[in-house]
């Protein structure tokens, strides 16, 4: 699930229990909802991607767009430490697209589906005289690993991230690897208190964890792993803090468990794991702090990603 626009998701959440129900273990507000089915748990998320907002069909191929739309939801699945169960895909196809175009789009979806063992079990397609719109709803299963929410971070926890951050809009946002295997491995190696995928950007997504867990957090500027793409930017640290769509993992775990993870991890995975900060006592007025040079402390705001930026009058994002 993505960040709310117009506060609508918050509004839904505030209505009549925010989608509470007898089988609803976790409703709106996490990366996936968690539902009880008999003695099992099933997770669900949805993401709608729109041409000109989340991708630009004049820049990206239909195969890339198809891959991305499923991978975004697969990353939500990683953010709960869940495994994919199945997905359904709805597509609004512009009238100008041919059957071959549509097949290229579906082949991109199929590439992500096969790579992450997520069968596409249903769909709905319509053509219209408007731009391409695609929605994926993805189901997850727990298979022995309890889902990790955003809400369990504890004071004193270490904050870790996978990969290197920033600059994904240079291209990485079209061909990233959802960290499903990494999330499962981490959750099996140590109790994770909170987990989220970096879709909105480190500062914004850490702010989500802080709000849901009612804690604050301190990031060490020098410890944040900065991608080579972000290093090309005028302010690489700002790119690593605020660019969206890295789709890496951000997690909180007890300090001792973090040390254990950091020492063993390189033998388990090629994906880097970095200690970037620690969880502080919650202060609703200030959730995020940044330490530079090991000393100077400054407050940090969630300055997340606003999707693909559109220019021109009448098209600014709310």
What number of chain residues touch a second copy (CB under 8 A)? 77
Nearer to a second copy, 135 or 257 (CB): 135
Q: Are 72 and 116 in contact (CB under 8 A)?
A: no
Question: Does 252 participate in binding a second copy (rule CB under 8 A)?
Answer: no
CA distance 163 to 178: 11
Nearer to a second copy, 28 or 169 (CB): 28
Among 71, 78, 89, 159, binds a second copy (CB under 8 A): 89
Question: Does 24 participate in binding a second copy (rule CB under 8 A)?
Answer: yes
Among 46, 218, 223, 262, binds a second copy (CB under 8 A): 46
Question: Does 7 participate in binding a second copy (rule CB under 8 A)?
Answer: yes
CA distance 66 to 73: 12
Q: Are 153 and 281 in contact (CB under 8 A)?
A: no
| Nearest C-alpha neighbor of 138 from the set 88, 181, 195 | 88
| Range in contact with a second copy (rule: CB under 8 A) among 42-50, 168-176, 256-264, 291-299 | 42-50
Among 91, 174, 250, 276, binds a second copy (CB under 8 A): 91
Q: Where are the beta strands (DSSP E) in 61-164?
A: 83-94, 120-128, 133-141, 158-162
C-beta of 200: minimal distance to a second copy in Å? Answer: 13
CA distance 222 to 225: 8
Residue list 123-162, contact with a second copy (CB under 8 A): 123-131, 133, 135, 137, 139, 141
Residue list 92-121, contact with a second copy (CB under 8 A): 92-93, 95, 99, 102-103, 106, 110, 113-114, 117, 119-121
Question: Does 318 participate in binding a second copy (rule CB under 8 A)?
Answer: yes
Question: Does 307 participate in binding a second copy (rule CB under 8 A)?
Answer: yes
Q: Are 92 and 132 in contact (CB under 8 A)?
A: yes
Question: Does 165 participate in binding a second copy (rule CB under 8 A)?
Answer: no
- Please report how many Cα atoms fall inside a 13 Å half-sphere around the Cα of residue 77, on the Cβ side: 31
CA distance 148 to 196: 9
């Amino acid at each position: 699930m993505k960040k709310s626009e117009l506060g609508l998701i918050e509004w839904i959440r505030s209505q009549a229990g925010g989608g509470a129900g007898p089988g609803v273990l976790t409703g709106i507000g996490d990366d996936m909802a968690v539902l009880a089915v008999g003695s099992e748990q099933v997770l669900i998320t949805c993401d709608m991607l729109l041409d000109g907002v989340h991708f630009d069909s004049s820049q990206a191929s239909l195969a890339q767009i198809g891959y991305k739309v499923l991978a975004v939801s697969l990353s939500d699945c990683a953010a709960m430490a869940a495994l994919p169960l199945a997905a359904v895909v709805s597509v609004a196809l512009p009238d100008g697209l041919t059957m071959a175009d549509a097949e290229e789009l579906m082949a991109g979806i199929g590439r992500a589906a096969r790579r992450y063992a997520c069968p596409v079990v249903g769909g709905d397609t319509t053509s219209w005289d408007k731009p391409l719109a695609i929605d994926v709803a993805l189901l997850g299963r727990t298979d022995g690993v309890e889902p990790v929410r955003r809400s369990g971070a504890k004071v004193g926890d270490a904050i870790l991230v996978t990969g290197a951050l920033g600059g994904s809009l240079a291209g990485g946002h079209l061909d990233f690897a959802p960290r499903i295997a990494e999330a499962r491995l981490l959750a099996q190696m140590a109790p994770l208190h909170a987990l989220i995928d970096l879709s909105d950007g480190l500062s914004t997504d850490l702010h989500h964890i802080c709000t849901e867990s009612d804690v604050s957090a301190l990031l060490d500027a020098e410890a944040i792993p900065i991608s080579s793409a972000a290093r090309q930017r005028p302010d690489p640290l700002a790119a690593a803090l605020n660019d969206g769509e890295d789709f890496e993992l951000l997690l909180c775990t007890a300090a001792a468990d973090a040390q254990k993870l950091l020492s063993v991890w390189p033998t388990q995975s090629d994906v880097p794991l970095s200690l970037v900060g620690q969880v502080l006592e919650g202060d609703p007025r200030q959730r995020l702090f940044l330490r530079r040079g090991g000393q100077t402390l400054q407050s940090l705001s969630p300055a997340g990603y606003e999707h693909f930026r559109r220019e021109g009058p009448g098209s600014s994002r709310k």
